[in-house]
């Protein structure tokens, strides 16, 4: 239900968040322009167009009554789940994985959209669950099933990074719902026992990523090349950085995937420790805003939606930066609002639109059934 924004909502709109997102896009455009050797193509202009389209969607969603998402949560989840099945049957293969659906002139990655629809579905389920039932294990069987189905399909693509993100975001919502510690400990213990079995099912390149994470110098010109070059780029930036488009690792093409997964390394080389610190502060401001919305939301659905979207954003930032620094294995998670990409950027902007709508809902006179 889209309503024209009232003067009160316009005054209460988080304009600082809007300015911050535009700032992220300006930085992304500049970095992709630099990554293209001072050329607007092949990355800068397409990214700007995608951002503008996603930004329009975000603003429309921001002024949508949150009850629309409550009513349609399961429908969106089913549509995304069917899309993952379509990917499994008819999706095209790119970069060694089958993750996309061709829709004429553009492609979509349903696993990215599932990150939002899964949050909405779990939030709706908890919204209609009595508070007295949160202490029982059976209450969490349906949320676990909602998570398991897309995770299995995403793992088959294969996309380990996205499947881990789906699990972690869902687990954060289940944890806050109040699941007993003993069940979490039991699940964690079971996961540790299952790890040797899971290792046997990993693809060869996934095993190599884990082994490279443990010892990247073992194959410096092969599997360890990405992370070694990433560390060199970050370290060579020093305190102040080498300056815009003066990074040797990126401009001389030593740094692979500098426009996507390793764009933070390129940024660190050009803008140094000070630049990366300011960028982390900007992300921190955005994440704190999300947790503030979570704390002040008056309705269960709003609380869990804000928590899920904020947790997803935090994990995006944490996993990507830890990955390029060698703290975590490389799993192909982009840097939010900065890395080149279509569906991921659109999904993040849609998520921000829903988060803002959740914030503005506190000031509406409507109630929930």
Q: Domain extents for the chain?
A: 84-334
Cα–Cα dist 10/18, whole Å: 12
CB 265 within 8 A of CB 292: no
Cα–Cα dist 186/191, whole Å: 9
> Residue 355: is the preceding peptide bond cis (ω within 30°)?
no
Identify the residue whose tokens are 């790890």.
Answer: 195
SS3 of residue 359 by DSSP: helix
**Buried/exposed code over 161-178 (b: 16+ C-beta within 10 A; e: otherwise):** bbbbbbeebbbbbbebbe
Cα–Cα dist 271/324, whole Å: 16
Identify the DSSP state of 103: E
> Residue 42: is the preceding peptide bond cis (ω within 30°)?
yes
Q: What is the distance, to the nearest Å, from the Cα of residue 277 to the centroid of all Cα atoms in its chain? A: 20
DSSP lists the bridge partners of residue 98 as 93
Kindly give the confidence (pLDDT) of every residue in the chain, 369 residues in length, as a single tens digit, with 9 standing for 90 and above. 555 566 777 788 899 999 999 999 999 999 999 888 888 888 999 999 999 999 999 999 998 989 999 999 999 999 999 999 988 887 666 555 677 777 766 778 888 899 999 999 999 999 999 888 888 888 899 999 999 999 999 988 778 888 889 999 999 999 888 877 777 787 778 777 777 777 776 777 677 777 777 777 776 666 678 788 888 888 888 899 898 888 888 777 788 888 888 999 999 999 999 999 999 999 999 999 999 999 998 889 999 999 999 999 999 999 999 988 888 888 878 999 999 987 889 999 999 999 999 998 877 654 444
Identify the residue whose tokens are 């299995």.
Answer: 152
Identify the residue whose tokens are 């997803």.
Answer: 312
Burial (CB count <10 Å: 0-12, 13-18, 19+), residue 210: middle
DSSP lists the bridge partners of residue 94 as 97
């Amino acid at each position: 239900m889209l309503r024209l924004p009232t003067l009160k909502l316009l005054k209460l709109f988080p304009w600082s968040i809007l300015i911050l997102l535009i700032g992220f896009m300006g930085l992304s455009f500049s970095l992709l322009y630099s990554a293209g050797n001072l050329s607007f193509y092949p990355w800068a202009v397409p990214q700007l167009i995608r951002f503008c389209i996603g930004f329009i969607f975000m603003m429309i969603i921001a002024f949508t009554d949150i009850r629309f998402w409550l009513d349609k949560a399961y429908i969106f989840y089913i549509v995304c789940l069917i899309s993952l099945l379509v990917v499994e049957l008819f999706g095209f293969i790119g970069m060694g994985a089958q993750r996309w659906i061709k829709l004429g002139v553009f492609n979509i990655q349903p696993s990215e959209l599932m990150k939002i629809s899964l949050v909405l579905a779990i939030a709706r389920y908890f919204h209609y669950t009595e508070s007295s039932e949160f202490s029982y294990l059976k209450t969490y069987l349906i949320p676990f099933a909602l998570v398991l189905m897309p995770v299995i399909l995403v793992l088959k693509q294969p996309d380990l990074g996205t499947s881990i993100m789906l699990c972690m975001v869902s687990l954060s919502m289940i944890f806050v719902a109040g699941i007993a510690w003993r069940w979490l400990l039991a699940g964690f213990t079971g996961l540790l026992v299952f790890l040797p079995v899971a290792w046997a099912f990993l693809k060869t390149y996934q095993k190599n990523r884990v082994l490279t994470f443990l010892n990247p110098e073992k194959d410096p010109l092969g599997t360890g090349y990405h992370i070694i070059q990433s560390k060199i780029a970050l370290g060579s930036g020093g305190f102040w950085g080498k300056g815009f488009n003066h990074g040797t690792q990126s401009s001389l093409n030593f740094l692979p995937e500098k426009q996507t997964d390793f764009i933070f390394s390129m940024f660190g080389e050009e803008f140094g420790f000070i630049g990366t610190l300011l960028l982390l502060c900007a992300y921190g401001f955005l994440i704190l805003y999300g947790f503030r919305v979570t704390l002040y939301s008056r309705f269960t659905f709003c609380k869990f939606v804000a928590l899920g979207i904020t947790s997803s954003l935090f994990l995006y930032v944490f996993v990507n930066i830890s990955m390029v620094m060698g703290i975590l294995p490389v799993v192909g998670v982009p840097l939010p609002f900065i890395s080149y990409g279509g569906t991921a950027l659109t999904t993040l902007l849609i998520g921000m639109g829903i988060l803002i709508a959740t914030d503005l809902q506190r000031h509406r006179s409507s109630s929930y059934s």
